[in-house]
């Protein structure tokens, strides 16, 4: 085998191993991403089922204030949809689960999609609308 043939063979082997490494790395990232997503959703669901403290009663306050207080108490990042934050709300969510409280708020403002929850993924985050039947939608 001459030097030129050997050099071509080595280049092909290097290309093969580079591609193999890339495929393995991508499949590992996918597995890691799936595990992180599953862990995130489990933690998010645990937070939604946690109870809010007593004294969380609001009278004629902006929706943004109510959601900010629920957000602080739950550890979730919650905000109103665009121009919905100024809507006045009178509601008592004391002792409710976060999920029950958010459902009560959405019903009060008669606004499916008026409440957004931050959703975290492997390399980014986005905002998802909170629906009365839960998330993701059926």
Asked if residue 83 lies in contact with residue 109, where contact means CB atoms within 8 angstroms, the answer is no
Split into its structural domains, the chain has a count of 1
Domain of residue 96: give its range. Answer: 1-138
User: Each residue of 50-97: pLDDT tens digit?
Assistant: 999 999 999 999 999 999 999 999 999 999 988 889 999 999 999 999
Q: pLDDT at residue 137 above 60?
A: no
Q: How far apart are the first and last CA of the chain?
A: 63
Q: What is the mean pLDDT of residues 117-124?
A: 73
Most confident of 62-66, 112-116, 134-138: 62-66
**d(C-alpha 110, C-alpha 49), whole Å:** 22
Residue 32 pLDDT exceeds 80:
no
Query: Which of the 8 DSSP states describes residue 51?
Result: B
In the chain, how many H helices and how many E strands? 3, 5
pLDDT of residue 93: 97
pLDDT tens-place string over residues 5-17: 877 777 888 887 7
| E strand map for 1-138 | 57-62, 78-80, 88-92, 115-120, 125-129
pLDDT score for 138: 45
């Amino acid at each position: 085998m001459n030097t030129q043939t050997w050099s071509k063979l080595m280049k092909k082997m290097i290309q093969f191993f580079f591609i193999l490494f890339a495929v393995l790395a991508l499949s590992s990232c996918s597995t890691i991403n799936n595990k992180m997503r599953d862990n995130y959703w489990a933690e998010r669901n645990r937070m939604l089922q946690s109870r809010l403290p007593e004294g969380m009663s609001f009278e004629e306050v902006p929706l943004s204030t109510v959601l900010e207080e629920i957000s602080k108490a739950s550890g979730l990042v919650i905000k109103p949809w665009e121009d919905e934050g100024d809507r006045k709300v009178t509601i008592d969510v004391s002792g409710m689960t976060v999920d029950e409280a958010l459902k009560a708020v959405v019903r009060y403002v008669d606004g499916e999609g008026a409440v957004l929850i931050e959703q975290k993924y492997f390399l980014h985050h986005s905002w998802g609308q909170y629906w009365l039947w839960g998330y993701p939608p059926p």
